[in-house]
Amino acid sequence: MFTGIILGKGKVVEKRSSGGGMVFILEPDFDLTDPEEGESIAVNGVCLTARNINAGKFTVDVSPESLDRTNLGKLSVGGKVNLERALRLSDRLGGHMVSGHVDAVSSILERRPVGNFVQFTFGVPAGLAKYIIEKGSIGIDGTSLTVNSCDDKTFSIVVIPHTLEVTLLGSLREGDSVNIEVDLIGKYVEKMLQAEPDNNDKSQGGINPEFLARHGFIK
């Protein structure tokens, strides 16, 4: 689990095919202190397992599924990625709960300066519009951001100077692809509302639209 607060960037120093997937060797631009072999690291928002951690570099294996759902396959040697180490229970939750399980790839439709800030507009990937809400959270290449506005086809975010500097967002241009992870809370709520009641299961909490409205969650 992650928070979407990017620690820094990493450079792809090696990329090769392996068993239908790919292997990347990455070099972070920050000190990877107390590294643990096999720990989870988010690479452009994709939860991957780090191995062979030494000399300021580490290796990750990317499965065919991850290559199909993300932009990692488009990376080239010398390219940059956003990096975040996994959340510890003692950490501040500065962003939002990010699983590192990317939903889809989108592209930047517009990049527009707004004073010292930058507004990005993205296309909404098929099937994800219902999970993207105004002022809700969304993960873009692993970065926790707030949705400024949205409709069924597009959504926009406004990025502060600090985030532009420490993440890849500062270098992205119109047409570039990004990994999208919607807020997982909405998925769980949807799943519970769609579940068929089990009359033999007395532990069911009876969560339905009427229950949520009665307790002030929806109107």
Specify the pTM. 0.86
pLDDT of residue 100: 95
The residue length of the chain stands at 219
**CA–CA gap between residue 33 and residue 202 (Å, rounded):** 48
- Find, among 131, 124, 127, 182, the residue nearest to 156 by Cα: 124
User: CA-to-CA distance for 82 and 26, rounded, in angstroms?
Assistant: 11
Q: Are 13 and 76 in contact (CB under 8 A)?
A: no
Domains and their CATH numbers in the chain: 8-85 (2.40.30.20), 104-185 (2.40.30.20), 187-219 (no CATH)
Distances (CA, A) of 116 to 13, 132, 139, 158, 163: 33, 25, 22, 10, 12
Q: What is the chain's mean pLDDT, rounded?
A: 91
- C-alpha 70: how far from chain center: 10
Which residue would you say has higher pLDDT here, 192 or 166?
166
Question: Could you report the per-residue pLDDT of 63-97, keeping only the tens digit for each?
Answer: 999 999 999 999 999 999 999 999 988 888 888 99
pLDDT digits (tens, 9 = 90+) for 119-150: 999 999 999 999 999 999 999 999 999 999 99
> Averaged over 105-121, what is the pLDDT?
97
pLDDT confidence bin for 153, thresholds 50/70/90: very high
- What angle (nearest 5°) sits at the alpha carbon of residue 52, between those of residues 49 and 55? 120
